[in-house]
């Protein structure tokens, strides 16, 4: 699921749908947290499975709150049959996304990248700024909805890094996986400008109100464009 979701992100980025790609990246990150948590703490798998019972309990509770007359008939019939009560009485407890991130060793990712990607998911005002076009005096000129071709490189780099971490986690879960290629890709990514050395997970000053990166490592002479990152990916056989 992590792989397929990141592939969906790539398709959206190619079409300039950056905000929409961010919503998928957040989804992929949640799955990466779970995968990494299982790799580091296999006992958490039971809690993840138990989470299904938690969702069933939530559905049962919400059914009792339905207000539409037709929906109420369904809810009342289910309640009268006694089928809802076992779900409502379930003692199951789930596991939070933060707990999974912490177990995966990705606590900082949760407190930074996951938070920022959530802005696109929830339509936060700070993320909606991307649609505003202003003049030099910061007066609103118009709203835009055209494809965004600038500043995509971080979305590409984090997509790749998520897949590398997912592969590393799989290597822990399934010992027969050849980790040499994973190590090769990980070592290669260390040379990407504005990757680990200048990412906003380690330095919050790289963020402004529109979530764009405004500061870079002193070792980086410039910012890579999305096209350059894409060329690098293809030229170096980086998985995406």
Interval 89-147: pLDDT, tens: 999 888 999 999 999 999 999 999 999 889 888 888 877 777 888 899 989 888 888 78
pLDDT: is 157 or 150 the higher one? 157
High-pLDDT (> 70) share of the chain, %: 75
The pTM of the full predicted model, rounded to 2 decimals, is 0.72
Query: What number is the average pLDDT over the span 76-83?
Result: 93
HSE-CB for 183 with a 13 A CA cutoff: 5
Q: Is residue 188 very low, low, confident or very high in pLDDT (cuts 50, 70, 90)?
A: low
> Alpha carbon of 195 to those of 41, 187, 223: distances in Å?
28, 12, 11
Q: Per-residue pLDDT for 50 more than 60?
A: yes
Residue 11 has pLDDT above 70, yes or no: yes
Structure token digits, residue 55: 């969702």
pLDDT, greater one: 203 or 132: 132
* Greater pLDDT, 189 or 58: 58
Residue 216 has pLDDT above 60, yes or no: no
pLDDT band with cut points at 50, 70 and 90 for residue 240? very low
CA distances from 29 to 75, 160, 185 (A): 35, 12, 19
How is residue 2 written in tokens? 């992590």
| pLDDT score at 88 | 92
- Averaged pLDDT, 160-167: 88
Tell me what the mean pLDDT of segment 78-94 comes to. 91
Q: Residue holding tokens 């835009």?
A: 144
Res 237: pLDDT: 58
Return the pLDDT at 218. 27
pLDDT, mean of residues 9-27: 91
Where do we find the tokens 């929409």? 20
Task: Output the pLDDT for position 203.
Answer: 32
């Amino acid at each position: 699921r992590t792989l397929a979701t990141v592939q969906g992100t790539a398709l959206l980025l190619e079409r300039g749908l950056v905000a929409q790609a961010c919503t998928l990246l957040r989804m992929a990150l949640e799955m990466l947290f779970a995968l990494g948590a299982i790799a580091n703490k296999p006992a958490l798998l039971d809690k993840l499975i138990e989470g299904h019972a938690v969702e069933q309990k939530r559905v049962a509770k919400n059914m009792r709150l339905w207000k539409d007359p037709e929906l109420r008939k369904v809810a009342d019939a289910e309640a009268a049959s006694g089928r809802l009560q076992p779900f409502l009485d379930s003692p199951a407890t789930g596991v939070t996304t933060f707990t999974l991130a912490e177990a995966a060793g990705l606590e900082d990712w949760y407190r930074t990248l996951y938070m920022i990607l959530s802005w696109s998911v929830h339509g936060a005002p700070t993320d909606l700024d991307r649609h505003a076009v202003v003049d030099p005096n910061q007066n609103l000129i118009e709203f835009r909805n055209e494809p965004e071709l600038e500043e995509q490189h971080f979305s590409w780099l984090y997509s790749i890094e998520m897949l590398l971490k997912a592969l590393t986690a799989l290597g822990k879960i399934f010992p027969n996986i050849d980790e040499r290629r994973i190590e090769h890709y990980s070592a290669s990514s260390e040379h990407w400008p504005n990757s680990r050395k200048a990412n906003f997970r380690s330095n919050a000053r790289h963020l402004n109100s529109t979530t764009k990166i405004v500061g870079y490592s002193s070792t980086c002479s410039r910012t890579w464009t999305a096209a350059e990152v894409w060329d690098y990916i293809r030229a170096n056989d980086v998985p995406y």
